């Protein structure tokens, strides 16, 4: 009997340990209005004829709150940005990205609510697009239509449109996010040889005489997240990796793992081989120029 109790205690201990080690990363979501080129987000959001859009955004935010997903209030994030930046009309695209970055959201959802008026009644079409805030890659998209009614209560029609697909959309966005957590985020790496450099991708490097291109591939095999990368092509003067996985979170800080950190790591590796290089990080694109 005593041995049985000890064995059960041991099994329970393993279960508790396994649960303790499992860390589930939950996303943070921000719902924003869809804007056309040249439109300002605040102008669209606060327009008198956009009450139905504001209701739609509120309902989408509420849907994520109800399943335990943390959300960021878009208006609060926009006010925070406006308190620190001077807004210029011609910088709408930049403003959008800066507000998203400032919010700390992992996912942003562009929300569009289109009023459709016909002789047979009015309806609203709601379109939702979820994006990875880090890379801008699409995670989920869906739309729904309300039935046609002889009414101008577009707020209620927006709610009816959402009711046709919102729960499924939330599930799709969550699953896509968890997939990104498991597989990592993608970056593009472009490695070029500067004019006048005294080596190229076919040069033998180091004591073992390995080709530079082979050493680079070996490094990505060890340092890409879960070893996943794809080489699009290699010539004597260029290597392009059109997909390299990096972790979503920095294991040391639990914050977003920045491409610049990965770029620094690779540059230091080249330096360890006695190779000078420069780097340029543009979003999810990493450019390296080998000087020699």
Can you give the residue ranges of every domain in the chain? 28-180, 184-290
191 CB contacts (<8 Å, ≥6 apart)?
Answer: 216, 238, 239, 240, 241, 288, 290
Domain 184-290 is found in CATH 3.30.1360: yes
The answer to whether residues 113 and 124 touch, using CB atoms and an 8 Å cutoff, is yes
Q: If residue 178 lies in a helix (H) or strand (E), which one and from where to where?
A: helix 166-183
pLDDT at 84: 64
237 CB contacts (<8 Å, ≥6 apart)?
Answer: 192, 193, 200, 201
Q: How many CA atoms lie within 13 A of 17 on its CB side?
A: 6
Same CATH topology for 28-180 and 184-290: the answer is no
Q: Give the pLDDT confidence of 232-259 residue by residue, as tens digits.
A: 999 999 999 999 999 988 878 877 788 9
Give the sheet arrangement for strand 185-193, strand by strand: 229-234, 238-246, 185-193, 285-290, 277-282
pLDDT of 14 higher than 70: no
Q: Write out the CATH class of domain 28-180.
A: alpha beta
pLDDT at 92: 46
- Per the confidence metrics, is the pTM higher than 0.75? yes
State the Cα–Cα distance between residues 138 and 190, nearest whole angstrom: 23
């Amino acid at each position: 009997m005593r041995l049985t109790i000890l064995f059960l205690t041991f099994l329970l201990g393993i279960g508790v340990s396994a649960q303790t080690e499992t860390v589930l990363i939950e996303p943070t979501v921000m719902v924003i209005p869809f804007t056309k080129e040249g439109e300002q987000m605040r102008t669209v959001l606060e327009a008198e004829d956009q009450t139905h859009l504001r209701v739609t955004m509120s309902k989408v935010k509420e849907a994520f709150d109800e399943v335990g997903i943390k959300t960021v209030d878009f208006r609060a994030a926009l006010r925070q940005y406006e308190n620190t930046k001077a807004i210029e009309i011609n910088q709408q695209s930049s403003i959008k990205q800066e507000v998203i970055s400032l919010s700390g959201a992992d996912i942003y959802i562009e929300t569009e609510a289109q009023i459709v008026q016909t002789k047979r009644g009015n309806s609203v079409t709601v379109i939702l697009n979820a994006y990875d805030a880090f890379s801008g890659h699409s995670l989920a998209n869906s739309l729904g239509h309300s039935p046609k009614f002889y009414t101008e209560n577009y707020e209620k029609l927006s709610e009816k449109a959402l009711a046709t697909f919102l729960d499924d959309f939330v599930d799709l966005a969550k699953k896509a996010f968890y997939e990104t957590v498991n597989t990592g985020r993608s970056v593009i790496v472009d490695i070029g040889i500067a004019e006048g450099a005294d080596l190229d991708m076919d040069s033998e490097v180091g004591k073992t005489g390995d080709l530079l291109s082979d050493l680079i591939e070996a490094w990505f095999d060890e340092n890409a997240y879960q070893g996943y990368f794809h080489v699009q092509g290699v010539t004597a003067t260029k290597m392009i990796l059109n997909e390299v996985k990096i972790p979503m979170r920095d294991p040391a800080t639990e914050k977003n793992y920045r491409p610049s950190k990965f770029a620094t790591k690779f540059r230091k590796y080249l330096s360890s081989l006695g190779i000078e290089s420069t780097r340029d990080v543009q979003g999810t694109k990493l450019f390296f120029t080998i000087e020699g």
